[in-house]
Structure 1
Amino acid sequence: MTRAIGKAKAMDLILTGRTIDAAEAERSGLVSRVVPADDLLTEAKAVATTISQLSRSATRMAKEAVNRAFESTLAEGLLYERRLFHSTFATDDQSEGMAAFIEKRPPHFTHR
């Protein structure tokens, strides 16, 4: 929690036991978005659909980079991100993504 919301906010919540509402959790960076309960499943499916349309290899590498950032120094994290970025150029999906962008069409990823 401390990495997500900062030391001061984490101390406040942990030491006082104070609860926060969804809006404060979003403002604090504890959650990425807040939606009404009735819209939760629809929103979750929309996010899943968006992610599923991306290149799986690029998505995997992006997740690795974000997760690694929490486990390393800034310099190490940047080096790791650069290595992942360069490795995306060895994928078929990178070529397809660039071609689709230039041709102004949706990409058709093969996940290779």
Structure 2
Amino acid sequence: MTPARILPIFPIMLSGTVAAVISLSQPPHYAIPILLAGTTFHSLGILLSTFMYSNYIGRLMSFGLPKPNTIPGMFIIIGPPSFTGLTFIGMANAAIKVFPETFVVGTSGCLRRRF
């Protein structure tokens, strides 16, 4: 079990990051499906990487740290959680600009009125 086993998950997760970036330049009828697909694929990627984390942490607890020349490769497993934060922040910012005003809670005019 090496950290490199998580590398096949990165393309799935990066589709969410790309969706967050390109959805801002699309008209709303194209941007909404892009954001939904990006959220779906990124969530699938983080779910699969979480399953890999359980195997990886179990291996570390059973056999200890790997050989010293392979320890720098352990930083690969930092990628998926950081991509998740970046992607969901980007998609939330894009959703506020792309979705209709009445669709996203907190952006509709009725919530801005003082009661």
TM-score by length of 1: 0.31
Structure richer in helix, relative to its length: 2
TM-score normalised to structure 2 length: 0.30
